[in-house]
Amino acid sequence: MQQNFYEIFTCLGCNKLYNIEERKPLELPCGDMICQQCYKKYQVKKKQIKCPYDNTHLCAIDEPVFENKFLIRNLQKQNFYLINCSEHQDIQAQVYCKLRNKIICTICMIVDPHLKCLEDGKTHLDFERKPLENAFQKVLPYFYDQIEYIKNLIHNVNAFVYKEREFNVVEIEKIINKSCQILQLSPINDDVKIKLRENTDILNFITNFTLIIQIMKDNCKFLFKAKKILKRLTFKINQQCIIFRRLVDFQLDVKQQPKLFKINGICKLIYKASRDGFKAINFHQKCDNQGPNISFIQSEHGEVFGGYTSLSWTSPDSGLHLQDNDAFLFSLSKNTLHKQYQNFDKAVRCNKDYLMEFGQFGYDICICNDCNHNSDSSCSLGDTFMPPQGFKKGDQFSKEYLGGSYNFKVIEMEVYSVTI
């Protein structure tokens, strides 16, 4: 199938193919198209729909949109989501071979030893994509849980290695047990895996992990690449952590002068995303009804920014705008303060499905659920709070100013209650 044919059936909003389920092609009032999934994202955020073909085309969320029947009919006729044979790449693999434990195509079936098995009707089974889809869909939540599991382990190991806090014996035993479990999935020596699985005591862990390092040294090429990647990742993560800690601690330290802004009160840490979780429910469990508070956020680009509100965060079922004359935003990375200049009745927005929102519909700062996994969080100064000097609302620079890009992942976030 030619590339331009695929482009017709691709949503420019997310660069994914349309389908007849959650990504149906919808025709916007301007005449261009967007998939249903992208459209719903705008609806949830209660933002204007931006045409993916022309940024100047903006449609209100209450304007009617229609399914494109022509494309839907063609989607029903075509099958874009094939699994192609690895040996005959232009042919669809639609048969499961028990003999080889492999999904194969019809050409593979006429090659020995398949020819001998065709008559029994038991060795080869018709294969459809849907059951595999369903199976993958069911295991995805477990994968995400494992990511959180490993991230927490990395956080604790880093804290131990870099002497960030004290540890007790029980904590050390848990770290070693978790490490041994994860190492079962790593490309280390099978004999070492067995030893770590059968015996997770401290001495065995130290002895065998020393052996692992020695085994890895035998493969210099692998070791060189692994060290290089690890060094690069570790350096980046450590640098970002150091920058975040330095900027936040400087701002909170009453002895340090001069400051970007003064906090009138005693600050107490009530929420730390890397410790308490990046979900909206984690945030609201720790931060709701805590009174005045200040938040510090670090995006994946290393930018450190945040906001202050004299009001408590709450968890209404739908978005609730509140006026707060004392609210302001800031960028610690760029050392700038952004006060309110319009839409004063929409300084903050509370919503149980989001961590926090500043400005009308969260245009200025919007931190979404699972913000460490997805790039749905966004910043765009100028709606309620002052844009950067010399720029206005909607400018690309205003959109990228706080977070480093309009959409981003969050790698750390801390909220402090302010007792006045």
Distances (CA, A) of 401 to 73, 188, 217, 300, 335: 43, 44, 45, 14, 12
* Secondary structure element (H or E) that encloses residue 64, with its range: none
For residues 407 and 378, is the Cβ–Cβ distance under 8 A?
Answer: yes
Cβ neighbours of residue 116 under 8 Å, at least 6 residues apart?
A: none
Task: Name the residue ranges covered by the structural domains of the chain.
Answer: 3-77, 95-130, 131-218, 266-419
Q: Report the amino acid identity of residue 127.
A: F
| CA 176/CA 153 separation, integer angstroms | 10
Cα–Cα distance measured from residue 56 to residue 282, given in angstroms and rounded to the nearest whole number: 38
Q: Which residues pair with 34 in a beta bridge?
A: 26
pLDDT of residue 1: 42
Sequence letter at residue 157: V
Question: Which H or E run includes 124?
Answer: strand 124-126
Separation between Cα atoms, residue 294 and residue 283, nearest integer Å: 13
Per-residue pLDDT of the chain (420 residues; tens, 9 = 90+): 444 556 778 888 888 888 888 888 998 888 888 888 888 887 766 677 888 888 788 888 788 888 988 888 887 776 555 677 877 776 777 787 777 777 887 777 666 555 555 555 567 777 777 777 778 788 788 778 888 888 888 888 888 877 778 888 778 778 777 777 776 666 655 665 566 566 655 556 655 555 544 444 454 454 455 556 555 655 555 677 888 888 999 899 888 777 889 888 899 999 999 899 999 999 999 999 999 999 999 998 889 999 999 999 999 988 899 999 999 999 999 999 999 999 999 999 999 999 999 998 778 999 999 999 899 999 999 999 999 999 999 899 999 999 999 999 999 999 999 998
CATH 3.30.40.10 fits 3-77, yes or no: yes
Nearest CA among 396, 399, 415, 397 for reference residue 356: 415
Angle, alpha carbons 110-111-114 (nearest 5°)? 80
Which pTM was predicted? 0.49
pLDDT at 216: 45
| Cβ 57 vs Cβ 50: under 8 Å | yes
Residue 387 CB neighbours (<10 A): 21
Strand partners, 23: none
